[in-house]
Amino acid sequence: MSDAPRKKRLPLRWLSLAEIVGVVAVVVAVLGYWDSHRERTQTSREKALAARERQVEARANALKQTFLMTGTLEGSGDRIRLASQRPEQVIQTQTIWFPRQVRASSVETTGNPRLEVSWVEDGLRKTKAETGRVPVGVLTVFIEDGVTKTDRAVYQVGYSLHGRTLRPDEVDLDGLSLARRGVTGDLQAAADNLWAAR
């Protein structure tokens, strides 16, 4: 026989019922925490997605309710044809105010929205500036979805003067851009103020 020492076995100990219940309770608690954390994360993602969708919808509704005119040059710069950017908005009438130094009285159009150089050429010749922009206050009555609506805005009309021999300078209209939307108060005063501040 061999005299080598025998290794002692550690005594095997069975878990008691209370210890088993304790381990199971810890596992259940960890699983419950993980599940509630995952649910909170998913809920916050859904809320963020819903908020983004509401923002996109609000922007689309705001865009639908806005009115924006575009201008197309006609002839050799003597007229700008005005139209709504959205075809479902049909312009009925417009009242147009220029700065008093350019034109003293307002102009009204019905069913033919436009800007004509003849309305402002004498006043613009007095500026002596070869190019520039003149502010124009515009009250537009239009129909959208069968409802009559109004828009009050100030636009900038680009112009240029071309010298001619023995005749007054030729005035050409160059284009139209929006300066201010949703103007409250007097549109004549708004045009005058922008003209004075140029």
| pLDDT tens-digit series, residues 19-40 | 888 888 888 888 888 988 888 9
In a domain, 2, yes or no: no
What is the sign of the dihedral through the CA atoms of 59, 70, 182 and 88? negative
Instruction: Say if residue 28 is in the same domain as residue 46.
Output: yes
Query: Where is the domain boundary, 30, 48, 65?
Result: 65
In a domain, 23, yes or no: yes
Token pair in block for residue 194: 């922008």
In a domain, 29, yes or no: yes
Number of structural domains, the chain? 2
In a domain, 22, yes or no: yes
Instruction: Say if residue 30 is in the same domain as residue 86.
Output: no
Domain with 78 in it:
67-196
Instruction: Say if residue 119 is in the same domain as residue 174.
Output: yes
| pLDDT tens-digit series, residues 71-122 | 999 988 789 999 998 888 999 999 999 999 999 999 999 989 999 999 999 9
In a domain, 3, yes or no: no
Query: Where is the domain boundary, 65, 83, 106?
Result: 65
The span from the CA of 90 to the CA of 146, in Å, is 10
